[in-house]
Amino acid sequence: MRSGGGLIALADGVGGQPGGAEAAQSVLEHLWDAALAAEPGSPLRAAVLDGVEAANRALLARGQGAATTLVAAAIDGRRLRSYHAGDSALFVVGGRGRIKHQTVAHSPVGYGVEAGLIGEDEAMRHALRHVISNAVGTADMRIEIGPVVELAPRDTVVLASDGVLDNLSIPELTDAVRTGDLQERAREIALACAARMRDGGGRAPSKPDDLALLIYRPGSGTSH
């Protein structure tokens, strides 16, 4: 984070493709370099777009088929704008649990949920849940830019990979993060996801996968 704002980003390598972890690391490094090169006090929009596009070119040049999802939050004071490609998600959750902003997964199931054709419960068990239609490292990659969201002191910003979202429902996740110590909440979510992953035969959703989670609250000035 830089003075008055900064950039929070999460990347999750596409499973089933070679070099997924390296692709995720590459896009984060390109974002970091672009943000550091930005003029102090200038909006981060150009830096985010330049960094992601540079990472996309680099991954395509490798010719290995490596790809990664990405979700990022550029924060300027109390103003947040989201950027994403793929099905890693960002939520802005109010102190009472109301979702003030939520990205839409770039996937057939994500679009189905957004259109009201698929319910949230059905989506978590859908046979095509793992299919995505956009990622960094593909020739037709696109970056979706969200609206400017004004953050209140008690709002919580959540960035999560599908390893979280395939094991916890959105109400469970938002209820877990809306109040309390961020480090403790992050630990509780990780443990809950791990328990669901081990429980494969139960009624609750369960999908073994790696998971990544970042939580930020403007009132605390820290993220976990």
What's the predicted TM-score (pTM) here?
Answer: 0.91
- Both structure tokens of 2: 């830089």
Confidence of residue 1 (pLDDT cuts 50, 70, 90): very low
- pLDDT tens for 166-186 read 999 999 999 999 999 999 999
- pLDDT tens for 8-35 read 999 999 976 778 999 999 999 999 999 9
- Model pLDDT, residue 220: 62
- pLDDT tens for 83-142 read 999 999 999 999 888 999 999 999 999 999 999 999 888 888 888 888 999 999 999 999
Q: Whose CA is closest to 134, among 56, 196, 62? A: 56
Please give the span between the terminal C-alpha atoms of the chain, in angstroms, as a whole number: 13
- Model pLDDT, residue 2: 47
Angle between helices 170-177 and 182-198 (to 10 degrees): 150
Residue 199 belongs to domain spanning: 5-223
Q: State how many domains the chain has.
A: 1
Here the CATH number for the domain that contains residue 10 is: 3.60.40.10
- Model pLDDT, residue 16: 67
As beta bridge partners, residue 9 has 72
